[in-house]
Amino acid sequence: MNVIQAIAIVVLKEMVRRKDFYVLFIITALITLLMGSINIFRDQSIAGYLKELALLLIWICSLVIAISTTARQLYAEKENRTIFPLLAKPVSRAQLLLGKFFGCWIACGLALFVFYLFLGIVAASREHTLDVGSYLVAMLLHWGALAVVVGMALLGSIVFAAPSSNGTICFVVALGILFLERHLNTVALQTGGWLGNVIYGVYFITPRLDWAFEVREFLIFHNPMPGIVIWTQALLFYGAYAAMLLLAAWLLFRRRALNT
Amino acid sequence: MIRIVEPILKTEDLRVEFRSKEVGGGVKVAVKGLNLAVHPGETFGFLGPNGAGKTTTMNVLLGFVNATSGNAFLFGQNVREPIARQRIGYLPELTYYYKFLSAEELLRFYARIFNIPKSEREKRIDEVLKLVELDHARKRQIKTYSKGMQQRAGLAQALINNPDLLILDEPTSGLDPIGRMKVREIIQRLKNEGKTVFFSSHELGEVETICDRVAILHQGELKREGRVSDIVREFNCDLEQAFLRIIGHAPVNGASSEPAKEFFAA
């Protein structure tokens, strides 16, 4: 546990000391502030749309942070050759992967906390009400979904040859799941035949990131959040899915030759 | 009564093959049936020209590469087990560390990996930084260090767990004479402390001064293993000349070696 924690802390330190992380962070915060505070035609109903846009922006930025930071972790270790003195110590490859996973995931969680806090404050200043519980559930589900994305990018960094291809593929897949997955069921039914079965297969295999994504609407329209049992099940699903991706990454990485 | 000392580092018929990346390149044998044994307290030089298989052997010993056949052991444990690396320190050929960390942070990170208790951690970091003469720069990020300083930071990380065996891959390569001298002094001090040092180097003069025994590898095969003094006595010359003769590239009594003769004839 100590090893995993030590590796995760180094990942966090690297992110804190990298300038590009701050650029993305500040841009998102500024746009959220602008979205939340703008007053178009003195129309109060426009606030809902702006909140939706701000949440969409937070989702996209969190995906960029999760994928861009995770996708380069193992490549950077190999390219900078820091992996050799590290693995020459009593560190297993599973511990290395877990350390990287938790480091990136916790960094995403910290970024999400700041984004949601910022959005909550800006939204409360206009709506004169703040449902802390709803924001917390939305953030937790979002963070859970990012565990799957981080696991996917980590697996991709072992499968694909370059961080750019890994990042691009992960981003396209994640956006595809967010926007298209809920329609796959219908498409499968309409298509029918073997192609329909294939689409059904894809529908059941892909992680349901759209569950967390749809929770935005509860925040926008002030609907009551789903009960604790439902969102706990969703979080467990994300946890199990991320564990499965990490297992696949470990199976591929555990015997791979690393030449100095 | 004769006391049998178990080797700290041992390889048994170690063979490493790589699939060539060239089209139709087939299989390249990097190490052919290597048998080595390094005993406690020894300073062992692992020599060979570039491409001889030294780094590949070290990669197997450190678990980076799996052997095609044969076995490798550190402290009697198979090198595939992470626990085998608990009592070793490793300095790679080219030093690259997390450059956004300071030397102190880097050592704290590695100390945590070795599970060194918090109470001892800071004391050990102080000791090691003093040993490698980086105490004055401990708070500076590694990216601001000179190459020599980075190499000494590398040595510091290799020593953080007070290892019984040090594996050093060309520790003085690319350093200026002062940097080389400093690294050599540190290795000498470790040797005097009774540490086992296994290192590869092309600086045969320093190998002759520091090492007790050497193994000479050429094209993946072990050509010679023995005490430095015995090899030097046998060939009646310094280690560099003996090395060149062993690998078949030495001018013998002014005459060129066979490959050299062929080259000049062409």
pLDDT of residue A243: 96
pLDDT of residue A133: 85
Residue contact A89–B85, C-beta within 8 A:
yes
Residue contact B100–A92, C-beta within 8 A:
no
Cα within 13 Å of Cα(A45), Cβ side: 0
* Residue range B139-164: mean pLDDT, rounded: 89
* Residue range B229-239: mean pLDDT, rounded: 87
pLDDT of residue A43: 66
pLDDT of residue B263: 52
pLDDT exceeds cutoff 90 at A226: no
Residue A148 maps to a domain: yes
pLDDT of residue A151: 96
Q: Residue B103 — pLDDT band, cuts 50, 70, 90? A: very high
Q: A–B: how many Cβ contacts below 8 A?
A: 87
Going by their DSSP bridges, the two strands B165-169 and B196-200 should be labelled as parallel
ipTM: 0.81
* Residue range B137-147: mean pLDDT, rounded: 90
Which residues from chain B sit within 8 angstroms of residue A3, using beta carbons?
A: 112-113
The type of residue at B102 is: S
Q: Is the sign of the CA dihedral B81, B82, B88, B92 positive or negative?
A: positive
* Residue range A108-123: mean pLDDT, rounded: 87
* Residue range A232-253: mean pLDDT, rounded: 94
Tell me which of A123-127, A169-173, B86-90 is least confident.
A123-127
Q: Residue B262 — pLDDT band, cuts 50, 70, 90? A: low
* Residue range B12-22: mean pLDDT, rounded: 84
Residue contact B83–A90, C-beta within 8 A:
yes
CA-based nearest distance A239→chain B, Å: 26
Residue A21 maps to a domain: yes
Residue A258 maps to a domain: no
Residue contact A84–B90, C-beta within 8 A:
yes
Tell me which of A44-48, B42-46, B138-142, B261-265 is least confident.
B261-265
Instruction: Give the number of domains in chain A.
Output: 1
Residue contact B157–A85, C-beta within 8 A:
yes
Helix (H, G, I), strand (E, B) or coil at A126: helix
Check if B112 contacts A (Cβ < 8 Å): yes
Helix (H, G, I), strand (E, B) or coil at B24: coil
Paired tokens of B128: 């090691």
pLDDT exceeds cutoff 90 at A32: no
- Average pLDDT over all residues of chain B: 85
Cα within 13 Å of Cα(B232), Cβ side: 15
pLDDT exceeds cutoff 70 at B2: no
Residue contact B100–A90, C-beta within 8 A:
no
Residue contact B113–A260, C-beta within 8 A:
no
Nearest CA in chain B to A4: B113
Expressed as residue numbers, the domain containing A108 is 2-253
DSSP B13: E
Q: Give the DSSP letter string of B220-253.
A: TEEEEEEEHHHHHHHHTS-HHHHHHHHTT-PPBT
Alpha-carbon separation of residue A247 from A4, A19, A68, A98, A156 (angstroms): 16, 32, 21, 10, 13
Which residues from chain B sit within 8 angstroms of residue A14, using beta carbons?
A: 98, 100
Residue contact B90–A85, C-beta within 8 A:
yes
The shortest CB-CB distance from A89 to any of B65, B98, B110 is to B110
Q: Residue B265 — pLDDT band, cuts 50, 70, 90? A: low
Which residues from chain A sit within 8 angstroms of residue B66, using beta carbons?
A: 255, 257
Q: Is B25 exposed, middle or buried (0-12, 13-18, 19+ CB in 10 A)?
A: exposed
CA-based nearest distance B63→chain A, Å: 7
- Average pLDDT over all residues of chain A: 86
Residue A259 maps to a domain: no
Check if B65 contacts A (Cβ < 8 Å): yes
pLDDT of residue A105: 96
Paired tokens of B32: 């052919």
Distance CA B25, CA B39 (A): 38
Cα within 13 Å of Cα(A52), Cβ side: 11
Residue A188 maps to a domain: yes
User: CA geometry: angle at B141 spanning B140 and B144, to 5°?
Assistant: 90
Residue contact B98–A14, C-beta within 8 A:
yes
Check if B208 contacts A (Cβ < 8 Å): no
Residue A260 maps to a domain: no
